[in-house]
């Protein structure tokens, strides 16, 4: 008697290699997310990783609360891919989409993602609430402080589009957004994904000074998230607070111009 094993599963298709990188010097660091290439000229993230082997541990702990096997993770403002690799490493079977518009770091992100052998799809693109070209400006020695402007001057340009256009059927469990004050537009362009993902958790940076630089009222931004049907909580120390918007803004402002917190946004009743 022959034993039927059923049809064999096709081998996974090989992942296409990203384009080679040619540019300023890179260094490879060993981190808790795995080996990571990063520009040597970065004067903020690189020395922190060299000294501690981790990056923004408080945010990492917050994201880790929502990790699970098979996680569908969206990383917006992925830089060189630290949090994308971190999630893939700690969530077996994770599927990650990482968006980074900066012409340099987006190339390094693609190489880091490919080298990790994880299921990470990188996109050299900014997310927004409409199709547009964004002017980008980057702080000296801090590639992570790349800010987008819909108009005006910049040192580089990037296309931008809504997530709902780029990935029209996507469903995610966890979203991380760190785009230096452009978070409202990113969230505004993913209404369809939020509707399709009832259990999604969005961890978004809230930086009042960066919002004010764009002539946005931080309190109005928080109210806008609530109008989208999202419950808004803020990470204050080790705890999540449901403080009123004015209190969240005050907490940030008391820490000075760089004062910021992470917001945890979930669908109300989801």
Q: Does a structural domain hold residue 14?
A: no
CA-CA distance, 30 to 165, in Å (whole number)? 36
Give the pLDDT confidence score for residue 15 in this predicted structure.
Answer: 76
Q: Does a structural domain hold residue 231?
A: yes
Tokens of 24: 């300023």
Which domain does 211 fall in, by range?
Answer: 56-267
CA-CA distance, 73 to 66, in Å (whole number)? 10
Q: Does a structural domain hold residue 7?
A: no
Q: Does a structural domain hold residue 46?
A: no
| Residue 17 dihedral angles phi and psi, to the nearest 5° | -75, 140
Q: Does a structural domain hold residue 44?
A: no
Which residues are CB-contacts of 82 (< 8 A; sequence separation ≥ 6)? 31, 33, 36, 45, 49, 55
| Residue 79 dihedral angles phi and psi, to the nearest 5° | 55, -130
Give the pLDDT confidence score for residue 214 in this predicted structure.
Answer: 87
Q: Does a structural domain hold residue 188?
A: yes
List the CATH number of the domain containing 236.
3.40.50.150
Average pLDDT, the chain: 89
Q: If pLDDT is split at 50, 70 and 90, which confidence band does 265 have?
A: very high
**Does the pTM of the predicted model rise above 0.85?**
yes
Which residues are CB-contacts of 150 (< 8 A; sequence separation ≥ 6)? 132, 134, 135
What is the rounded average pLDDT of the residues 160-182? 96
Give the pLDDT confidence score for residue 1 in this predicted structure.
Answer: 41
Number of domains comprising the chain = 1
Q: Does a structural domain hold residue 33?
A: no
Nearest to 91 by CA among 67, 56, 115: 67
Q: Does a structural domain hold residue 186?
A: yes
């Amino acid at each position: 008697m022959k034993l039927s094993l059923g049809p064999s599963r096709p081998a996974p298709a090989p992942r296409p290699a990203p384009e080679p990188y040619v540019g300023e010097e890179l260094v490879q660091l060993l981190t808790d997310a795995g080996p990571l290439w990063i520009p040597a000229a970065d004067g903020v993230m690189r020395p922190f990783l060299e000294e501690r082997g981790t990056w923004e541990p408080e945010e990492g702990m917050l994201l880790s609360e929502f990790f699970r096997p098979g996680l569908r993770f969206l990383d917006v403002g992925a830089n060189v891919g630290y949090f994308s690799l971190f999630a893939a490493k700690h969530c077996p079977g994770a599927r990650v989409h990482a968006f980074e518009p900066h012409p340099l770091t987006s190339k390094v992100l693609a190489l880091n993602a490919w080298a990790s052998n994880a299921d990470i799809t990188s996109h050299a693109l900014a997310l927004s609430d409409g199709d547009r070209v964004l002017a980008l400006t980057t702080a000296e020695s801090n590639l992570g402080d790349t800010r987008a402007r819909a108009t005006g001057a910049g040192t580089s340009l990037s296309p931008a589009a809504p997530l709902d256009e780029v990935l029209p059927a996507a469903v995610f469990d966890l979203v991380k957004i760190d785009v230096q004050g452009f978070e409202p537009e990113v969230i505004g362009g993913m209404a369809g994904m939020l509707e399709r993902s009832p259990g999604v958790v969005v961890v978004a940076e809230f930086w009042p000074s960066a919002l004010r630089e764009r002539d946005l009222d931080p309190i109005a931004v928080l109210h806008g998230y609530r109008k989208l049907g999202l419950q808004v909580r803020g990470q204050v120390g080790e705890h999540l607070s449901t403080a009123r918007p004015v209190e969240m803004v005050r907490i940030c402002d008391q820490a000075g111009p760089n004062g910021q917190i992470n917001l945890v946004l979930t669908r109300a009743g989801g």
